[in-house]
Structure 1
């Protein structure tokens, strides 16, 4: 199969994969069109959901009265209220771009992306992965070729983008590269390590077929509990 065929945007298999990698333009426009008042919209603590959306009703000294998305009226200390980002940042690919990089905004962004099966999100140099507990069609050879040789800003967040960056740096600089995959038990460290190895295997095999010669990759997998 040619690379052109693999990267055909109308390819049914690739279109199915893209559902789990990025939002459509229409979906993003709809999110960004939500009403928003930056002076009133905020996040407040919640015992069940950690943080919920709220609207500031009144401010007196160091206390703020808010009406939550659940309809409750609460009076909190100013320090307990966190600012909310405008709708243009809803489900953003890279949380380093958020205007307000607070706990509530980070959790909201990851939670909303996860609800829409977007399990990979960048946070600056890091790639955050949330275990979907089901197999998604985002690790095929066609997806591999979509990420091969691309800049992170040119493609949706994915572990493959991190792997490709390391692979490209190795070829260009002729120096060893390291990737740290960390997380709690059950987070998906082992599975993501397998996907990195899978990516290297696919790319190395494709390079040999194109006559670039053989390349040898040594994987050292250290898991810390």
Structure 2
């Protein structure tokens, strides 16, 4: 059972890591000149929302987040019980990095980040908690304006910028650890995977941290 949990943890983690690449790539549309960014971003968002394939993928995404979180809590508590003795604690401190020792804490911070993110955007777009979304000149929901106006809030933009740090740290250890859980132990392959994991985590951290700052300082509201 423990092995199945590790496999599921790894698979859902890699799936979510791939999703982050897609999500960040779409966010780069927000950095385009104001003359074209709103139309492109809203058209892209509308295409996703009306695509039945993406709807199915979204269900898997929600399930992956829930499953990854539940298993992470279970494994964190299990590992905590195993490392309560001074001997085990000293061995861990000697052989592991800070992120690997604190994946539970980093994961909790990311969970908070996801909840805040979904409350500010997903709930407003999908659930209409603040009423119907305004539309652009093409009749698409004006999600671009929602993003830009939301990220003009200094508290929210600071939250996004700061939370990109634990995200990068979690990914730095998590991606390479996922491959180990799936049975990749060859030293040569793991060396490359660890290098790519660090590069990936830096790109994700910088991307999700700097784009909100760019919008706050440079993007136009209207």
Greater per-residue helix proportion: 2
Structure number with bigger Rg: 1
Name the TM-score, length of structure 2 as normaliser: 0.26
Name the TM-score, length of structure 1 as normaliser: 0.26
Greater per-residue strand proportion: 1
